[in-house]
Amino acid sequence: MLVTDETQFSKRASQFDLCAYLSTRQEQVEAALDRSLPVIYPEQIYEAMRYSLLAGGKRLRPILCLATCELMGGTIEMAMPTACALEMIHTMSLIHDDLPAMDNDDYRRGKLTNHKVFNEAVAILAGDGLLAYAFEHIVEETQNVPPDRLMKVIARLGRAVGAAGLVGGQVVDLHCEGACDVKIETLNFIHAHKTAALLEASVVSGGIIAGASDADVQRLSQYSQAIGLAFQIVDDVLDITSTQEELGKSVGKDLRAQKVTYPSFWGIEESKRQAQQLIEQAKSEVAGYGDRALPLMAIADFITARTH
């Protein structure tokens, strides 16, 4: 790119209306999720699955999947069943993580958690049902996508949620609870598996559906790993800064009391710098695609914008 082109590209990037983009996509995803899971007999299990699946949230994973599918020349329609499946998998991980045997949370996003509304048995089964249905839904509902691409998507999703992904990250996280000698490598492992693995599957699967080359998939994978880690660092930073404001605790005291986070290794300023660097790295991976990459670039920026 020439310098003038680059300047114009930066200008268009800064003018891209991410808010409108996210809001349109979110509506489309909500409608598709609502249609994906009708209530039939035995009603309670479908209601339990729907309760958590339709409990709101940013729908970041489906939106990323749709965005990369479009970026690589595919359509929203081609990727929508996979986008919904990603949200089903994400929802199952939230339902199971909230269980008494795990994080024992009563509320999520201001609503009672699944096992508080139904019961533990139903919540476990609702998670299992969503996970199984995710794979069925991709196969049954996807149209105009060659089966070999869908096979790759299914393998990626399976890996992202299993012991080599979400499940593995959660196990290590549970082990580290209350431990004071957690290494940064372990923290990286937890977040690479608990957060980044499914984000990567979301971004990459959209590309695969559209027929992305191995080189494209590699770029998308780098992009998603970088935003995944940045997302977690920013989350850790916000956790501390909001505690500071709300409780007036000193940061040093908070860091000592806190479970292990990135700021506990790097401090707040260095954490912010690392997050910003990861975002720049993510954007540089997709900048070469030009205007079609504007949504992915804006989503990356959106992540660090939260620190300000």
For binding to a copy of itself (CB under 8 A), which residues are involved?
42, 44-46, 49, 92, 96, 99, 101-102, 119-122, 124-125, 127-129, 131-137, 139-140, 147-148, 150-152, 154-155, 157-159, 161-163, 165-168, 170-172, 174-175
Return the DSSP state at 289: G
Residue closer to a copy of itself, measured from CB, 105 or 280: 105
Q: What are phi and psi of 111, to 5 degrees?
A: -115, 155
Residue closer to a copy of itself, measured from CB, 19 or 102: 102
Residue closer to a copy of itself, measured from CB, 36 or 274: 36
Shortest spacing between CB 160 and a copy of itself, in angstroms:
8
Shortest spacing between CB 11 and a copy of itself, in angstroms:
44
Shortest spacing between CB 20 and a copy of itself, in angstroms:
35
Shortest spacing between CB 119 and a copy of itself, in angstroms:
7
In which residue are the tokens 């329609």 written? Answer: 77
Residue closer to a copy of itself, measured from CB, 152 or 249: 152
Q: Are 49 and 57 in contact (CB under 8 A)?
A: no
Residue closer to a copy of itself, measured from CB, 155 or 247: 155
Return the DSSP state at 101: T
Shortest spacing between CB 143 and a copy of itself, in angstroms:
13
Shortest spacing between CB 55 and a copy of itself, in angstroms:
18
Q: Are 66 and 81 in contact (CB under 8 A)?
A: no
* Helix/strand/coil for 42: coil
Shortest spacing between CB 228 and a copy of itself, in angstroms:
19
Residue closer to a copy of itself, measured from CB, 173 or 236: 173
Residue 184: CB atoms within 10 A of its CB come to: 12
Question: What is the C-alpha to C-alpha distance for residues 207 and 153, in angstroms, rounded to an integer?
Answer: 10
**Angle subtended at Cα 79 by Cα 20 and Cα 90, rounded to the nearest 5 degrees:** 80
Q: Mutual orientation of helices 76-98 and 43-53 as an angle, nearest 10°? A: 100
Ordered DSSP codes for 130-191: HHHHHHHHHHHH--SS-HHHHHHHHHHHHHHHSTTTHHHHHHHHHHHTT-S---HHHHHHHH
Residue closer to a copy of itself, measured from CB, 33 or 150: 150
